[in-house]
Amino acid sequence: MKISDVVVSPDPFILGKSGLKLTLLVELPSSLRGANVLEVSAMITSPTRRSMSFVAHRLLVDELETKGKNLTIPVELVWDGKDQYHQLVTDGSYFYELQAK
């Protein structure tokens, strides 16, 4: 399984105005049959790693029809601009790390 595309919007992202939307395409191999859940997550951090947030989305794979071929699934994650304490983060640069499993 792999993440084949990522689109980030809006650009630029303005804190407190709207959420940061990460739209991903996840390619699932046909050999994944029998798996129950696809989990896609994003860890968002400041350069100092003092502000962190975790966003995840789970999808039941059993309900998806693969018919012997690979399947590409769009997944959307939205970050509200808040840290692990549910406080709005300060302006600045933030990094995201994506994972699909």
pLDDT tens, position by position, 21-66: 999 999 887 776 566 788 999 999 988 887 789 999 998 876 666 5
Which carries the bigger pLDDT value, residue 20 or residue 64?
20
Query: Which of 82, 17, 76 minimizes the C-alpha distance to 52?
Result: 82
Q: Tokens at residue 75, please?
A: 């997944």
Pairing of strands 95-100, 20-28: unpaired
Query: Is 2:27 a contact under the CB 8 Å cutoff?
Result: yes
Q: Tokens at residue 54, please?
A: 């975790």
**Residue 91 phi/psi, 5° resolution?**
-60, 150
pTM score, whole prediction: 0.82
- Alpha-carbon separation of residue 37 from 53, 64, 97 (angstroms): 22, 11, 20
CA atoms within 13 A on the CB side of 9: 4
Q: Check residue 43 and give its pLDDT.
A: 94
Which carries the bigger pLDDT value, residue 49 or residue 86?
86
Strands (E), the chain: 2-9, 20-28, 37-45, 52-60, 71-79, 95-100
Note the pLDDT tens digit of each residue in 67-81: 656 788 899 999 999
Enumerate domains of the chain plus CATH numbers: 2-100 (2.60.40.10)
